[in-house]
Amino acid sequence: MIHDSLIRERLVTGDKTAADVTRDIARPILNQPTKSWKIGFTLSLIFLGIFGISLFNTIWTGIGVWNINKTVMWGWDITNFVFWVGIGHAGTLISAVLLLFRQKWRMSINRSAEAMTIFAVVCAAMFPVFHMGRVWVGYWALPLPNAFGSLWVNFNSPLLWDVFAISTYFSVSLLFWYIGLIPDIATIRDKVKTKTAKFWYGFFSMGWTGSTRTWARYELISLILAGLSTPLVLSVHTIVSTDFATSIVPGWHTTIFPPYFVAGAIFSGFGMVATLLVVARKVMNYENYITIGHLEAMTKIIMVTGSIVGIAYLTEFFIAWYSGVEYEQYAFINRATGPYWWAYWSMMSCNLLAPQVFWFKWARTTPWFIFIMSIVVNVGMWFERFVIIVTSLHRDYLPSSWVMYSGSLTEIGLFLGTFGIFFTCFFLFAKYMPVINMAEIKSILRNRE
Amino acid sequence: MGILDKKLSLRNRSKMLVGIWEDEDKLVEATSALVHDGVHIHDIYTPYPVHGLERIIGARRSRLARVAFFCGLTGFILMTTMIWYMYVLDWPVNVGNKPVRFTPSWIPVMFEGTVLCTAYGMGFFFFWRNRLLLGVKNDLLDDRQTDDRMVIAIECVEGMNESDVLNTMKSNGAVELRELINGVQTTI
């Protein structure tokens, strides 16, 4: 039996009606861009320019402009790849897992989280693609007919699994996102005034009318896609972790990597969602839709996943000692006390210690503080990947090949530039598409149980 | 192929009765009352999913889940065959003397392929079944049916008492009643 909830707090505040929801959420689309949007978009374009220059330098001169060498053959590039792919994984996971668990608070954040997934995976893909050096033969990674050479691809290699996993993940996330967008695109279609806007929103709304039968199928396909996406996300980040774990490099050769990477992905993804939404709710006046309750729920997940990641750090250290393998032991001692100690302790403080402040309600309910913490989480998760990759590689079995590594200006430019790609896409998305799922929000206005 | 079939368009129906609601509960009550009176409801259009309506109007349960299963099975068979052909039949590669036939290392690619085929097969079926296609013209009865209004559309058939139907809709909270004749709507 359906009735009004007497206990649960309202997920949307301000006594909104369905018409209010359309008006509020469609406002940025129906009106001229605001000053803050213009400033943000210009900044993103500047960073996009930095990406363009760095990429041009990489292609024109060759990847010798990166500081990677024969010992540290993966540096900022793969650090950035795992950083972005981790952020990307959280989006669909947030949407899919919370849908399976019937968490209605997801409805305010799922659209941005899914968009974040798409843009973050695009950013992530840049790094392995250009690390190949000869980008124009990148299609050799696909299982193509033998005419291109005498061998097929190696199905034993986690790098090949990555090709399949990330392309599948991107494609399925895109479908999931687009199907969810159709009803809202139709709403915008019926609100816009100009002929061009009417044409394009009409084109992408696919003739949506909101028929009851279509809604029933829509809900079913969303549920099945969520059911598919959940193991998909787990598989993809597990596969990313096996890029490291199946090797024999001390510090990488460990079975804890898959769950540790997955928890880290959710952690960093929620960090990025919090960064985006704390700003969006203020700038776009969405405080009634993304409430303090939503922020609090996200911070609780950040705290739990941060703690899981922290336990993984400590377990790695313990197992290195307990295994009795001196190479493993050295790898971890070197991480904490070697030349990259600052990176290790930045990682520990940002990921394990900092999120513990969310035990306090004040920290969970103060937007500016959550924003700062979300940046701390993002910084910490970048350092995690840097620590895993660089500290394990820079001192291997042969002391004669030990080296130090730091990113070159081009590598730094590429990393900063991907923020340009990410935020340019996000600003365009926020201008032309509803950032919050209007149709789903309308269905929870009454706070039913 | 029903997607582009103009006969299915609401504008080409000879006569329809259209009721507009602003309250979800009243819409559900009205639907139940109409179905109870034996009226065949053509469709109901809402800006968000109203749970239970499809059961009241007797819509058939979707077969999407079954389609998903068969698409997944197809993907699984395709990927297994592909790997087997490339890795066992055409050019077996000796990697550290590891076995080449059906090893656990095949699982990730088989899994990803299965998921991809399931998602896109089901997506294609969803679009086809709902007549959703990029660029298709929408068939709206009310400009606000994707915003805050809910619409019940009833096709007039021989023997139907139209005034009874209109009265039932009015007494169950319809804020506006219209009739649609050959694509032209008039308020009653």
Tell me, yes or no, whether B85 and B116 share the same domain: yes
For residue A207, which phi and psi values (nearest 5 degrees)? 75, 25
Question: How far, in Å, CA of A135 to CA of A59, rounded?
Answer: 9
Same domain, B78 and B31: no
Mutate to test the interface with A, among B43, B106, B132 (most CBs of A within 10 A): B132
Residue B17 domain boundaries: 11-47+144-187
Contact B65 A224 (CB under 8 A): yes
| B85 and B122 part of one domain | yes
Q: What proportion of chain A, given as a percentage, has pLDDT over 70?
A: 96
A13 residue type, one letter: T
Please check whether residue B58 lies inside any domain of the structure.
no
Flag whether B53 is in a domain. Answer: no
Q: How many residues appear in chain A?
A: 449
Q: Which residue of A has its CA nearest to B95?
A: A156
- Chain segment A307-323, per-residue pLDDT in tens: 999 999 999 999 999 99
Rounded CA separation A373/A383 (Å): 15
Which of A232, A300, A227, A237 has the alpha carbon at shortest distance from A263? A237
Chain B residue numbers touching A213 (CB-CB < 8 A): 43, 54, 59, 130
Q: Do B165 and B120 fall into the same domain?
A: no
Are B91 and A146 a contacting pair at CB < 8 A? yes
Banded pLDDT at B14 (limits 50, 70, 90)? confident
**Residue B5 pLDDT more than 60?**
no
Let me know whether B43 and B91 are in one domain. no
Nearest chain B residue to A444 by CA distance is B48
Please give the torsion angle defined by the CA atoms of residues A331, A336, A341 and A343, in that order, rounded to the nearest 10 degrees. 90
Same domain, B43 and B68: no
- Report ipTM for this prediction: 0.91
Quick one: B73 and B115 in the same domain? Answer: yes
Residue pairs between chains A and B whose CB atoms are closer than 8 Å = 190
Instruction: Let me know whether B22 and B75 are in one domain.
Output: no
pLDDT level of residue B1 (50, 70, 90 thresholds): very low
Q: A365-383 burial, b if ≥16 CB within 10 A, otherwise e?
A: ebbebbbebbebbbbbbbb
Judge: B147–A150 Cβ closer than 8 Å, yes or no: no
Rounded to an integer, the average pLDDT of A201-230 is: 91
B86 lies within 8 A of chain A by CB = yes
What is the domain-level CATH number for residue B43?
A: 3.30.70.120
- State the SS3 of A298-314: HHHHHHHHHHHHHHHHH
| Residue B138 domain flag | no
pLDDT beyond 90 at A300 = yes
What is the secondary structure of A204-231 as a DSSP string? Answer: HTTT---BHHHHHHHHHHHHHHHHHHHH
B51: left (phi over 0), alpha (psi -120 to 50) or beta: beta
Greater confidence (A364 vs A96) lies with: A364
Q: Is residue B32 part of a domain?
A: yes
Q: How far is residue A184 from each of residues A102, A300, A433, B80, measured CA to CA in Å?
A: 21, 30, 8, 39
Residue B134 lies in a domain: no
**Do B40 and B83 reside in the same domain of the chain?**
no
Confirm if A85 and A129 have CB atoms less than 8 A apart. Answer: no
Mark whether B73 and B121 lie in a shared domain.
yes
Residue B158 main-chain phi, psi, to 5 deg = -60, 135
Mean pLDDT for A81-99 is: 86
Mean pLDDT of A382-393: 93
Residue B56 resides in a domain: no
How many domains does chain B contain in total?
2
B79 and B34, same structural domain?
no
Nearest CB neighbour to A442, from listed B48, B143, B145: B48
CA pair distance A105, A107, nearest whole angstrom: 5
Distance from CA of A92 to the nearest CA of B (A): 14
Q: Are both B99 and B151 inside the same structural domain?
A: no
Sign of CA pseudo-dihedral B66, B70, B71, B75: positive
Instruction: Give pLDDT tens digits for B33-83.
Output: 998 888 888 889 999 998 888 888 888 888 889 999 999 999 999 999 999
Residue B96 lies in a domain: yes
Give A426-448 as a 3 state SS string: HHHHHHHCCCCCHHHHHHCCCCE
Residue B81 counted as domain residue: yes
Mean pLDDT score of chain A:
89
